[in-house]
Amino acid sequence: MKTGTKQARGYHLISRVVLPGLMLVLSGCASRESVKLVSEYAKQSAQVQEALLGVYERTEQARVDSVLAGAVRDGATGKALDVQRIDNSGQIQALKHLLVFTQSINALASDDVNADLNEQAEKLNAALVSLSEYPQVQGVSQKQVELASISANALARAYTESARYEALKRLMKTSQPVIQNTIDELRSDLPFWKRATRTSLQKELRIRLYLLNNPNRCEQRDDDRCVVFSHSLEERMEAYRKAYRIKQEIVRLDAEFMQLDKALQSIQTTNTAIVESLESDNDLSLSAAKKAIKSTKVQVNAIKAFQKSLKEES
């Protein structure tokens, strides 16, 4: 990205914008800080979205594991091992498009001169169009999508700080309904994912404990497929340890999903604060945006801590 002179890049301390019936004095320093906050917001948003993708993947794995546990107990044909996947193609695709959009926003708002901004603008446009076509996202007009796309292209080609700021402001403003509505839908789906995860974990736990507590079950069953298990003390200890970990996962599901919902809500709040900061461009709005960023960071760190605890116990 070209740097230009200080005057061309807008390093003046005060800019004047004339609004109908109003002369508003804007701080150039505040506008630069607002742009930096957009990049920080995008980074944190991406982390939350990646955590949600991890939840989707874990729910699917829990379903597979519960079926495999049943196969160990009862035996299974190849057909019985065809696990019916959750019909989550819509949510998965919406979330992936949202992640691409967020990552592109980060690249376009950052000072990384090595980034291919034209490519990022194309990715952002494609993701935004896909999100706007997501059936559950309501209240988004084609005009808003077109304006956001124009702003993304303008941002990729902005060589002065003032032009970059204006393009970013328009992009964040016009894309806001798509982002807010998509996150609304993702949040509304969280109870379903929690319920599906709990059901699968509980099924696997019941089967594991049954097999551990009934080592002689084959003597009471007239079934050639029944398998007799023989374990050493250490093997049984490890098997019970695994059952304990599953139980702990079940116990902590409510807290985990509540934290994830709070993180998504914080992203929405931060998105609103960022747009207001870009629109108003004063110290008060900038302070609100910083406060929202800080709140979101707390939620992101809580998610990371929870994920770390799961890895440490596995």
pLDDT of residue 257: 93
- Whether pLDDT at 65 is above 90: yes
**In which band, very low, low, confident or very high, does the pLDDT at 194 lie, cut at 50, 70 and 90?**
very high
Q: How many CB atoms lie within 10 A of CB 148?
A: 27
Average pLDDT of the segment spanning 264-284: 79
Percentage with pLDDT > 70 across the chain: 70
pLDDT of residue 104: 85
Position with higher pLDDT, 290 vs 182 = 182
Average pLDDT of the segment spanning 209-221: 80
pLDDT of residue 26: 33
**In which band, very low, low, confident or very high, does the pLDDT at 197 lie, cut at 50, 70 and 90?**
very high
- Whether pLDDT at 106 is above 70: yes
DSSP 215: T
pLDDT of residue 118: 81
**Least confident piece of the model among 191-205, 227-241, 293-307:** 293-307
**In which band, very low, low, confident or very high, does the pLDDT at 7 lie, cut at 50, 70 and 90?**
very low
Average pLDDT of the segment spanning 194-205: 95
- Whether pLDDT at 146 is above 50: yes
Position with higher pLDDT, 38 vs 310 = 38
**In which band, very low, low, confident or very high, does the pLDDT at 224 lie, cut at 50, 70 and 90?**
low
Secondary structure element (H or E) that encloses residue 191, with its range: helix 161-213
Taking the C-alpha atoms of residue 312 and residue 309, their distance in angstroms, rounded to an integer, is 5
Average pLDDT of the segment spanning 204-213: 92
Average pLDDT of the segment spanning 272-284: 74
Position with higher pLDDT, 242 vs 3 = 242
pLDDT of residue 298: 65
Average pLDDT of the segment spanning 76-83: 71
Average pLDDT of the segment spanning 20-40: 55
Secondary structure element (H or E) that encloses residue 22, with its range: strand 22-27
Longest dimension (CA), the chain: 90
Taking the C-alpha atoms of residue 110 and residue 104, their distance in angstroms, rounded to an integer, is 10
Count of helices and strands (H, E) across the chain: 8, 2
Average pLDDT of the segment spanning 260-276: 88
Q: Give the pTM.
A: 0.74
Taking the C-alpha atoms of residue 202 and residue 223, their distance in angstroms, rounded to an integer, is 25
In 3D space, the residue among 187, 195, 191, 148 whose CA is nearest the CA of residue 168 turns out to be 148
The two tokens of residue 216 are 């002689």
pLDDT of residue 182: 87
CA-to-CA separations, 284 to 25, 56, 118, 164, in angstroms, rounded: 13, 38, 33, 22
For the segment 91-101, what is each residue's pLDDT rounded down to a tens digit?
788 888 888 88
pLDDT of residue 203: 96
pLDDT of residue 43: 87
pLDDT of residue 10: 31
Q: How many CB atoms lie within 10 A of CB 241?
A: 10
Average pLDDT of the segment spanning 261-272: 89
Q: Which residues contact 159 (CB under 8 A, 6 or more apart)?
A: 1, 2, 4, 8
As beta bridge partners, residue 18 has 23
